[in-house]
Amino acid sequence: MAAVDRFHLLYKEISRSCNFYIEALAIVGAWYTVRKCVSLAFNTYGVLRLHVIPRLGGEIDLVKRYGKWAVVTGSTDGIGKAYAEELAKRGVNIILISRNKEKLEAVSRSISETYKVETDIIVVDFSKGSEPYSAIKEALKGREIGILVNNVGIAYPYPDYFTNLSEDILWDMINVNIVSANMMTHIVLPGMVEKKRGAIVNVSSASCCQPTPMLTIYGASKTYLDYFSRALHYEYASKGIFVQSLTPFFIATKMVACSSFASESSFLIPSAEEYASHAVSTLGLSIRTTGYWKHAIKMVLGWLAVSFVNSCGELTLPSEMEYRTQLPHPE
C-alpha cells in the first residue's frame, strides 16, 4: 500500500511538472501562430491595396502628377513596349529608345495612331559603353521628362558557368543592364529635381532576392538595379521624385525564349501586356514591388515556405509586405 501511495504521489508530481511545460509550449505555439496569421493578414492586405484597389478606384493622372513625356528604354519588344503602350493609354507622350530603327519607327507609329499621343524615337545601342549618351542628352534637351523607365536589358542565351562567358558578353551585360540605368538617370534626374516632380522605374527581377548560379552576372546586375533604386528613392523622395524597383518573376517575352516553360504565357506567367497593365497601376504606390498580383502571391508564399523550413532565418525571401516599403509621396 505504501508503494502504491508513493507511486501516486510521484505520478501527481510528474503530471504537475508536465502540465507546466505543456502550458508554456502552448503559449509559445499560440504566439507563433498569431504572429504568422497577423503577418499573412498584413501581406494579404498589402497585395490587395497595391494590386487590386488601385484598379478598382480609377487611374491616376500620370501627366498631372509627373509630366507630359516618358522615356522608355528597350521599348521595341516585351515589357518595354507594353509599358510604353500603357503609359500612352494614360495620355503620356512617349520617347522610345532602342537600337533597331525599323522596329522603333513601327512601334512609334502604332502608339501614336492608337493612343493619339506624341511619340519620338532615339536610336541607341547601349552596349557601346559611354558612346551613346551625349547624343541622348542632346535629343532630350528641352523636353519635360516626367517618367523614365529603365527597362533595357539582356540575359544569358542559356544558363552557363561564369568562366565560359566571353568578355564581350560580360561587357555587354554590364553596359546594358547597369550602365544604361545610371547614365539615363543622370541625364533625366536634374530636370525632374528642378520641376520637383518625376518618376523613375527600374526594371529589376525577382532574381535579385537570391544568388543565381549559372546566371551570375544577370542576377547580380538585377540586384544592383534594385539597390540603386531603393537608395535613389531615399535620396530624392523629399525633392518630389518617386523611384520604383520592379522585380517580376517570369514573363513571357523573348528574353526567356530559351525556356519552354517560361516562353509562353500561363496562369502564373503573364504576357508582357498583362504584366505592364498591372505594373503601371503600382506607380506612385510602392517603391519595391513585383508589379503583378500573382507574382506578389508567389513572393509571399515563397517567404512563408522558406521561413518555415529554415528556422535559422538565413535564407529568407522578402515578402510583398516588405516590398511595399514606401515613403510618403511628396506632392
24 domain-assigned: no
In the chain, count of helices (H) and strands (E)? Answer: 12, 7
What pLDDT score does 66 carry? 96
What pLDDT score does 60 carry? 83
Enter the pTM of the model: 0.77
Distance CA 273, CA 275 (A): 5
SS3 147: strand
SS3 145: strand
253-276 core/surface letters (b: 16 or more CB in 10 A; e: else) = bebbeeeeebeebeeebbbbbbbb
pLDDT digits (tens, 9 = 90+) for 44-95: 666 666 666 666 656 788 999 999 999 999 999 999 999 999 999 999 999 9
316 domain-assigned: yes
pLDDT digits (tens, 9 = 90+) for 118-142: 999 999 999 999 999 999 999 999 8
- Number of structural domains (the chain) is 1
123 domain-assigned: yes
114 domain-assigned: yes
What pLDDT score does 3 carry? 55
Q: Which domain holds residue 202?
A: 45-323
User: Are residues 83 and 280 in contact, defined by beta-carbon separation less than 8 angstroms?
Assistant: yes
What pLDDT score does 207 carry? 74
Is 83 in the active site? no
What pLDDT score does 176 carry? 96
Count of other CB atoms within 10 angstroms of residue 218: 20
User: Are residues 111 and 94 in contact, defined by beta-carbon separation less than 8 angstroms?
Assistant: yes
Name residue 147's beta-bridge partners.
70, 199
Which of 218, 224, 236, 323 is flagged as catalytic? 218
Distance CA 153, CA 177 (A): 5
242 domain-assigned: yes
Distance CA 124, CA 136 (A): 8
Q: How far is CA 144 from the centre of its chain?
A: 25
What pLDDT score does 326 carry? 38
Cell of 16: 504537475
What pLDDT score does 158 carry? 87
Distance CA 235, CA 243 (A): 10
What pLDDT score does 28 carry? 76
What pLDDT score does 284 carry? 92
In CATH, what number is assigned to the domain containing residue 141? 3.40.50.720
Distance CA 157, CA 169 (A): 10
User: Are residues 318 and 247 in contact, defined by beta-carbon separation less than 8 angstroms?
Assistant: no
What pLDDT score does 43 carry? 65
What pLDDT score does 291 carry? 79
Q: How far is CA 276 from the centre of its chain?
A: 12
32 domain-assigned: no
Burial class (CB in 10 A: 0-12, 13-18, 19+), 297: middle
Low-confidence ranges of the chain (pLDDT < 50): 257-263, 311-331
Residue with the three cell numbers 519552354: 260
Q: How far is CA 236 from the centre of its chain?
A: 19
Give the number of residues written for the chain.
331
17 domain-assigned: no
Distance CA 203, CA 181 (A): 9
37 domain-assigned: no
